[in-house]
Chains A and B, each alone.
Chain A
Amino acid sequence: MTGAQIAANALEGIRHGERKRLAAQLFNGFMYGAIGLAFLALVALIGQTAVKGLPGLSLQFFTNFPSRINPSTSGAQSAIVGTVYLTLLTAVFVIPVGIATALYLEEYADKTRWWNRLIEVNIQNLAAVPSVVYGILGLAFIVRGPLGIGPVLLAGGLTLGLLVLPVVIIVARESIRAVPPSIRDGALALGATKWQTVSRQVLPSARAGIVTGVILSLSRAIGETAPLLVIGAASSPRFNPSGLNDAFTALPIQIFTWTQDPNPQFVDQAATASIVLLLILLGMNGIAIVLRNRYEQRW
C-alpha cells in the first residue's frame, strides 16, 4: 500500500465519520423538532382551553343550570351532577362484574379449553370496539328493544359500564396475575378452599392494582361523548336527574352542545366545562397514583 493510498483511506474514514456525525445531528434535529411540535400542540390545547374557559369559571358555573338564552347566567350544574351519578353507576356495575370475570379467567378457567380462550379473545376484541358502537348497542338494546328503559340515567350508566368492562377486566387480570403462585400454594396447603384462597389472600394482595385500574377506567368512561350522544342524553336540561329513571346529561354532552351554539359566549362555556372535566379527571388520576404508591404490594 502506498502512502497516498493510506492517506486517502484515512481521509475517507474521516469523511465517513463526518457524514455519520452530520446524520446524527440531522436526526437529533428531527427528533427534538417532532417532540417540540407535539409538546407545542399540547401547550396550545391546554392554553386555548384555559384562556377561553377560565374567565367563566365561577361558583355560579357550578350552581346554575345551562341557559339557552343568556350566557351570563348559564352554568353546568346538571352536567356535573349527571357526570358524578354516571360515574358511580358505572362503578357499581363494572367493579363486581369486572373483578368476577378477571377472577374466573385467572384463577378458575382451564386455559386449554376452547371456550375460555374464546372469552379471552372476545374481551380483547371488545376493548377495541369503537365507543360509538357501544352507543348503538345502548340505543337498540337498553334504551329501546329488550330492556326498553328509555334514554335515562340507568341506560347511560349501563352503556358506559359495558364500554369500560373489557378494560377493567384486563387491568384486574394483570393485578391478579402479579400475585405470586406461592401465595396460593401457601393458603391451599393450610387447608383453605379455592374460594378462601382467592377471596382472603389473592384478592387482598391484588387490591391496590385493581382499585387503581378501576379508577383509571372510570376516568375513561367520564370523558366519553359519542355513546351518550347516540343513546340520547338530554341537551342542556335545567334539572338534575332525580332517579335512575330520569333524563340526564353529562359534561361531555354539555360541552358538545355548547360548541354547536352560534353564540361565541356559549362556545367559551364549552371551554369552562372542559376545565371542570379535566379537573375531575386529574383528581381521579391523582387518587389512583396515591393509592398505587401507598398500597402497592411489592414481591
Chain B
Amino acid sequence: MGSRSFSATVTNRGGELSSLDESLPEPTGAEVLPGESVRTSEVMSSLDHHEKGIPTSDAGLGMTIFDCQDVEVFYGSHQAIRDVSLSFGLREVTALIGPSGCGKSTFLRCLNRMNDLIPGAKVGGHVIYHGQDLYAPEIDPVQVRKRIGMVFQKPNPFPKSIYDNVAFGPRVVGMEGDMDEIVERALVRGALWEEVKDRLDENAFGMSGGQQQRLCIARALATDPDVLLMDEPCSALDPISTGRIEDLMSELKERISIVIVTHNMQQAARVSDKTAFFNVELAADEKSRTGVVVEYDATETIFTNPSDKRTEDYVTGKFG
C-alpha cells in the first residue's frame, strides 16, 4: 500500500451511497429512553481535556497506524491466511469484507495478538504499529491489548454490574484517577451514559442486546485505546441497535482508528473510509482453504469501481 493516503474518501454518506441510508430507520422505540436528548458528540467535547497524548487536530490525518507486511496465520498445519499486507490510516475506519471463512476475523485477531490465545495458532510476518513490530520478542501482548481495544461478534458483558464491567479494564491495567470519572467518561463515549447512569449497580445481563454491545464498546474505550477492533459487532443486533453503533463509530473516528470486520456490505459502505476485500483460495489439493486479500482501496472505489472481477462479483452479490 505504501504511503498513499485515503483521507479524501467517503466520510459523509453522500452520493450513490445515500440510498443505503434509507434502509436504516432513525433510532426509535425500545432502546430510546425518556429524557435522552443529549447528543454524544456534545458531551464528548466537554470531556476533551481528559484525552492524553492523542492529538485531536487534523495533524495526524493521512498517517498510518498499522502497517501489516506478509501476515500469515497457521492453525496447526492448516494455513488460515497468507500474504496479507495492508496498512490502516490513523483515525480512519477500515472495513474488512469477504465471504465466510476467508480469514477476516483471523486477521483482525492478529492486530491485538488475540491469536496468541488459540492453542496451535502461529502468526508469521510483521504487524507494525506506530513503527513497532507487535510480534517482536520483547513486546508484551498484554500491553498490546491494553492499547488496542476489541469488540466481539456477540455482546460479551461480564456477569457483573454495569459499573464493574466498565471499571474492569482500568483496574487491571492500573489506570490512575477517579474511577467514577473514568467509568462515566467511557459510558459517555460509548453513547450509553444517559441510559444507564441511574442503574450502574445493576447486572449487565439485564440490558438489551444493543445496550450490551454498546457497554462492551464503552468497556473497551475505558482504557483509552487508540485503536478499536470490531469483529462483526452488529451481526447479533437488530437494525435500530446497529444504527446506533454505526453512529457511534463515526463519532469515535474523530479520535481513534477503527478496523471493522463485517458481513454486511451496506454497513461497510456506510461506515468505512477504506475497504479490504478478502477471499478464499483453494489449495491445489482442493482441501485446504486459505484467505487472501484480493483488493484494498477507498471504500467508494471498492463499491463503485473495483478493479478485480472477484471484488465486483462479491459486492454486487453474485457470491458470498
Chain A positions within 8 Å of B, measured between CB atoms, are 110-112, 180, 182-193, 196, 200-201, 204-205, 297
**7 A-B pairs closest in CB distance:** A191-B146, A190-B169, A182-B156, A189-B150, A192-B172, A186-B156, A191-B173
The answer to whether B172 and A186 touch across the interface, beta carbons within 8 angstroms, is no
The answer to whether A187 and B119 touch across the interface, beta carbons within 8 angstroms, is no
Q: How far is the CB of A270 from chain B (nearest CB, A)?
A: 47
Given contacts A110-B119, A112-B119, A185-B114, contact A190 B172 (CB under 8 A): yes
Among B95-103, B124-132, B216-224, the one that faces the other chain is B216-224
Q: Which residues B152-190 have CB closer than 8 A to chain A?
A: 152, 154, 156-160, 168-169, 172-173
Could you show 23 A-B contacts with beta carbons less than 8 Å apart?
A: A110-B119, A180-B156, A182-B152, A183-B159, A184-B117, A186-B156, A187-B158, A188-B114, A188-B145, A189-B114, A190-B145, A190-B146, A190-B149, A190-B168, A190-B169, A190-B220, A191-B173, A191-B223, A192-B172, A192-B173, A200-B172, A201-B168, A204-B160
Specify which chain A residues have a CB less than 8 angstroms from the CB of B156 in the assembled complex. Answer: 180, 182-183, 185-186
Specify which chain B residues have a CB less than 8 angstroms from the CB of A204 in the assembled complex. Answer: 160
| Cα A111 to Cα B120 with chains together (Å) | 11
| Cα A297 to Cα B157 with chains together (Å) | 13
Highest count of chain A CB atoms <10 Å: which of B147, B158, B169, B173: B158
Specify which chain A residues have a CB less than 8 angstroms from the CB of B222 in the assembled complex. Answer: 190
Specify which chain A residues have a CB less than 8 angstroms from the CB of B173 in the assembled complex. Answer: 190-192
Contact of B143 among A190, A191, A196, A297 (CB under 8 A): A191
Q: How far is the CB of A197 from chain B (nearest CB, A)?
A: 8
Q: How far is the CB of B127 from chain A (nearest CB, A)?
A: 16
- Nearest B-chain residue to A299, judged by Cβ: B159
Q: How far is the CB of A39 from chain B (nearest CB, A)?
A: 40
| Cα A205 to Cα B119 with chains together (Å) | 23
Specify which chain A residues have a CB less than 8 angstroms from the CB of B142 in the assembled complex. Answer: 191-193
| Cα A182 to Cα B152 with chains together (Å) | 8
Encode contact with A along B209-228: 1 for CB under 8 Å, 0 otherwise.
Answer: 00000001001101100000
Specify which chain A residues have a CB less than 8 angstroms from the CB of B154 in the assembled complex. Answer: 182
Highest count of chain A CB atoms <10 Å: which of B112, B117, B143, B154: B117
Q: How far is the CB of A100 from chain B (nearest CB, A)?
A: 21
Specify which chain B residues have a CB less than 8 angstroms from the CB of A201 in the assembled complex. Answer: 158, 168
Highest count of chain B CB atoms <10 Å: which of A180, A184, A187, A204: A187
The answer to whether B119 and A191 touch across the interface, beta carbons within 8 angstroms, is no
| Cα A284 to Cα B223 with chains together (Å) | 44
Specify which chain A residues have a CB less than 8 angstroms from the CB of B147 in the assembled complex. Answer: 191
Contact of A189 among B120, B145, B158, B160 (CB under 8 A): B145
- Nearest B-chain residue to A205, judged by Cβ: B159
Known: A180-B156, A189-B149, A191-B142. 10 other contacts (CB 8 A): A112-B119, A186-B152, A186-B216, A187-B168, A189-B114, A190-B145, A190-B146, A193-B142, A201-B158, A205-B159
Highest count of chain B CB atoms <10 Å: which of A111, A180, A189, A204: A189
Specify which chain A residues have a CB less than 8 angstroms from the CB of B152 in the assembled complex. Answer: 182, 185-186, 189
- Nearest A-chain residue to B169, judged by Cβ: A190
| Cα A182 to Cα B147 with chains together (Å) | 20
Specify which chain B residues have a CB less than 8 angstroms from the CB of A196 in the assembled complex. Answer: 172
The answer to whether A200 and B145 touch across the interface, beta carbons within 8 angstroms, is no
| Cα A180 to Cα B160 with chains together (Å) | 15
The answer to whether B219 and A190 touch across the interface, beta carbons within 8 angstroms, is yes
Specify which chain A residues have a CB less than 8 angstroms from the CB of B145 in the assembled complex. Answer: 188-191
Specify which chain B residues have a CB less than 8 angstroms from the CB of A187 in the assembled complex. Answer: 158, 168, 172
| Cα A111 to Cα B112 with chains together (Å) | 25
Q: How far is the CB of A215 from chain B (nearest CB, A)?
A: 21
Specify which chain B residues have a CB less than 8 angstroms from the CB of A185 in the assembled complex. Answer: 114, 117, 150, 152, 156
